[in-house]
Amino acid sequence: MQLYAHPFSSYCQKVLIALYENATPFEYRRLEEAAANAELAQLWPLKRFPLLLDQGRAMLESSTIIEYLQAHHPGPVRLIPDGDAGLEARMLDRLFDNYVMTPMQKIVLDQRRPASERDAYGVAEARDLLNNIYAWLDQRLAGREWACGATFTLADCAAAPSLFYADWAHEIPPAHTSLRAYRARLLAHPSVARAVDEARPYRSYFPLGAPDRD
Ligand X SMILES: N[C@@H](CCC(=O)N[C@@H](CS)C(=O)NCC(=O)O)C(=O)O
Chain contacts with ligand X (rule: CB under 6 A): 9-11, 47-50, 61-62
From the CB of 175, what's the least distance to ligand X, in Å?
Answer: 29
Q: Are strands 2-5 and 27-30 parallel, antiparallel or unpaired?
A: parallel
> Which CB, 93 or 138, lies closer to ligand X?
93
> Which CB, 6 or 180, lies closer to ligand X?
6
From the CB of 18, what's the least distance to ligand X, in Å?
Answer: 12
From the CB of 12, what's the least distance to ligand X, in Å?
Answer: 6
What's the half-sphere exposure (Cβ side, CA atoms, 13 Å) at 105?
A: 13
> Which CB, 48 or 194, lies closer to ligand X?
48
From the CB of 115, what's the least distance to ligand X, in Å?
Answer: 21
> Which CB, 49 or 146, lies closer to ligand X?
49
d(CA 31, CA 5): 6
Long-range contacts of 41-50 (CB under 8 A, 24+ apart): 43/4, 49/4, 49/5, 49/6, 49/9, 49/11, 49/12, 50/3, 50/4, 50/5, 50/9, 50/11, 50/12, 50/14, 50/15, 50/16
> Which CB, 62 or 191, lies closer to ligand X?
62
From the CB of 154, what's the least distance to ligand X, in Å?
Answer: 12
> Which CB, 126 or 176, lies closer to ligand X?
126
From the CB of 107, what's the least distance to ligand X, in Å?
Answer: 14
Do residues 96 and 182 make contact, with C-beta atoms less than 8 angstroms apart?
no
